[in-house]
Structure formats: structure tokens, C-alpha cells
Amino acid sequence: MKLRILHLYPKEMNLYGDHGNILSIVKRCEWRGIKAEVVVHEPGDPIPDDIDIIFGGGGQDSNQNTIEDDLRAIGPKLKELVESDVPTLVVCGLYQLFGEYFQTGDGNKIEGIGILDLHTVAGKNRLIGNVVVDESEFGEIVGYENHSGLTRLGKNVRPLGTVSKGNGNNGDDELEGARYHNCIGTYLHGPILPKNPRITDFLISKAIERQTGQPAKLARLNDTAETRAHKVASTRP
């Protein structure tokens, strides 16, 4: 079996170790004997049809401006893939741009591609620090946030989880991230996947199920290092 992972804008959108999410997916595939191919997308590149997992990271406002036109051009294709249940993880900047829009601090409105029913407006202060999120499917989720954007969810998405430490989407409604079909949006850097392997395995499982039409049965891995990293992150102030 082979899974193709689409990595959106790795040059422009790779803050705080987000590339580690790709490494986590690839390694947890390889350790189970699953071949994983990373397909890099930069502005002007086409989007292949045979994509099994989509990932996009975070970037500064200037980087979001750089990719804005290309993202809008490929938006319909990405929406088609998400609507067809391709498992997807978008972090921080691309989480924002998968929504309706991001309004920057100077009033510039960067249009999103409307896959996720949410919008973001820059706040006066940055939300920075370690985050712990409670979620029934994945258990406790840990990560690190650093964003000025205040994201509000609409009716057609549900939150990734509830914040027990940190700020999350906006610092006041105790919600973090968003979920729609098999798409997960989040502000958690760190990167998020190495310390939260259940989310990585969710992406892999859903990719296999979509490809085969059968429930995925992933081989268990030794997650001692991942568990230790998770525990350390969860206890940081």
C-alpha cells in the first residue's frame, strides 16, 4: 500500500517545526510497512487527483499574502478533496485561510477558500504559550500556540476540543481548532503530531479506509518516546 501526502507551501508555511508533522506521518507509515510519498505544492504547481492526506502549516502574515492568489486558485480542488473525506491537517496560518477570511491588524482582509465555516480577525495581543486540549476521540492533546488571530467558528464545523490550559481559538470561548469531515484545523504547533500520535494515526487510518473501502486496522507501535514528549509538554506552565 502507498499513501500520497500533499504538503502545501513548505517554504512559506513552516513555522515552529510544522514540517515535523510530515515526518511523523511518514515514519508512522513506514514503521507499519506502508509506503508514503510526499508531494510538495508550491505556487503554480497543479494538484494531483490521487492524494490521500493533505497537510499545511503556519506562516507570518506576509507569507499568507504570498500564497493568497495560488491558494484561491487551487481552493476548489482542495474543497473537492476535503468534501470527499480526504484526511487533512491545517495548522495556524493555513487553518485561518481554510476559513472565510483573515483580517490582519492593519485592516488588510486576506480572503480564505471557505472550506471551514470560520473567520479570523487579528487581535491586539498575541496568544502565546503551551496548550492542553481535552477531546473525547483523541484524549488529551498538547501543543504550543503563538498567534494574534482570533478565530470564531460557524455552525457547520465543530471544535477540535476544549481548552484546559492556554487560549485556543480566541482566548475566551475555551475552544480550540475545528473539525469538518476528516479535516482538522488547529493553532497547535510544536509540531502537534509527534506528541499526539492518535491524531497521526487518525489521518493514516482515514486515508487507508478511503483508499480501500474497508476499516483500517493499524499495527500497534511502541509510543514510549511520544508518550514521554506528551507528558513533558502537558506539564509545562
**What residues are annotated to the active site?**
92, 189
Q: Of how many residues is the chain composed?
A: 237
Kindly report the three-state secondary structure assignment for every residue of the chain.
CEEEEEEECCCCCCHHHCHHHHHHHHHHHHCCCCEEEEEEECCCCCCCCCCCEEEECCCCHHHHHHHHHHHHHHHHHHHHHHHCCCCEEEECHHHHHCCCEEECCCCCEEECCCCCCEEEEEEEEEEEEEEEEEECCCEEEEEEEEEEEEEEECCCCECCEEEEECCCCCCCCCEECEEECCEEEECCECCHHHHCHHHHHHHHHHHHHHHHCCCCCCCCCCCHHHHHHHHHHHHCC
Q: What are the cell numbers at 109?
A: 482582509
Distance CA 15, CA 95 (A): 13
**Other beta carbons less than 10 A from residue 132's beta carbon:** 20
